[in-house]
Amino acid sequence: MAAKKFGLKCKIFMGAKDIKRQRPNVEAMRKNGATIVPVTTGSQTLVDAVSECMRYWVSNCNVSAMCVGSTVGPNIFIKICAWSTAQISRELIVQVKEEFGRIPKKMKLLNCVGGGSSAMGFWNEFMDTDAEFVGIEAGGPKNSKLHAAPLTNGSKIGILHGAAQYVIQDKEGQIGSTDSISAGLDYPGISPLHCFLKDTKRARYTSASDEEALKAYQLVSKLENISPSLEPSHAFAEAIKLAPKLKSSEIIIVNSCGDSLKDKDIIKQKLGSYIR
């Protein structure tokens, strides 16, 4: 959409697997004039799409600019993305003050975490407050050892896409396989910013399974006037666990950072129906 507004050509690198499971998103991008480049290497998911995008840019940097849609990769791209998404928390501060007259002390800000862009945007302007940050990673299928939750599962520091970070890897240090019902969270690494927040204990990280995310999607879509995508459904799953344990004076805010329309095919396949 940005490329269309400024009259630029746009190539979007996307894993072949994700092209199938994110069909509505792909159709929308093509309608806006983008060229979708299928990535058929590796797991054919997000991690391989980022790799191919970087390879293309390095080979064509004299005639192209690279945009990274998450807080991953080399330093400058992380900064650009985190600065851009910070608008989320700037707007949230206004809304919180309108609702409560101030920024409450006992407030939990829950956000799903894949690469970590929406979480950084959601938390950015609250860094100097007493707000508690809770990041929810993709725990993968319940009966599988595969997941996309490096912070929750004690992954070691490695190098991925030009940045040191906690990353899922095998015994030889090679990037490991992942699995998640959510294409947007299916990434073996995590932004170095989130690694820092974990190490300094400024943020707490946990995970939700595919099944928990689907149940949360059903409950939220039924009871609220929103229909979250599978990414924020992971965060809603954690909110559902936390809410019964909290006092009435404590506040939970979940960033519903995606619409279920893009995941409707996956949801229909898993649940047999789609709640809009």
Q: Which of 69, 21, 25, 15 is nearest to 45 (CA)?
A: 15
Alpha carbons 109 and 203: distance in angstroms, whole number: 10
Q: What is d(CA 108, CA 126) in angstroms, rounded to the nearest whole number?
A: 11
Tokens 């609250």 found at: 126
pLDDT for 275? 84
Torsion of CA 26, 30, 32, 33, to 10 degrees: 140
Residue 172: how many CB atoms within 10 A of its CB? 5
- Predicted confidence at residue 135, as pLDDT, reads 98
Q: Which of 24, 142, 13 is nearest to 73 (CA)?
A: 13
Q: Which two tokens stand for residue 213?
A: 């995310």
pLDDT of residue 105: 87
Task: Specify the fold of 2-67.
Answer: Rossmann fold (3.40.50)
How many residues are listed for the chain in this entry?
Answer: 276
Domain ranges, ordered by start, for the chain: 2-67, 86-271
Residue-level pLDDT at 174: 94
pLDDT of 177: 94
Same topology for domains 2-67 and 86-271, yes or no? Answer: yes
**CATH classification of 86-271, choosing from 3.40.50.1100, 1.10.1740.110, 3.40.50.10490, 3.65.10.10?**
3.40.50.1100
pLDDT for position 276: 80
Instruction: Split the chain (276 residues) into runs of 10 and give each run's mean pLDDT.
Output: 94 95 93 97 93 96 93 94 96 96 94 97 96 98 96 97 96 94 95 98 98 98 95 98 94 96 94 88
Contacts of 264 (CB under 8 A, 6+ apart): 24, 274, 276
Q: Please give the radius of gyration of the chain, using alpha carbons only, rounded to the nearest integer.
A: 18
Nearest Cα residue to 112 out of 170, 24, 180: 180
3-class secondary structure, 40: coil
* Cross-strand partners of 209: 140
Say which residues have a Cβ less than 8 Å from residue 128's Cβ, sequence separation at least 6. none
- Residue 11 half-sphere exposure, CB side, CA atoms within 13 Å? 16
Give the pLDDT confidence score for residue 113 in this predicted structure. Answer: 98
**Using alpha carbons only, what angle is made at residue 266 by residues 265 and 269, rounded to the nearest 5 degrees?**
85
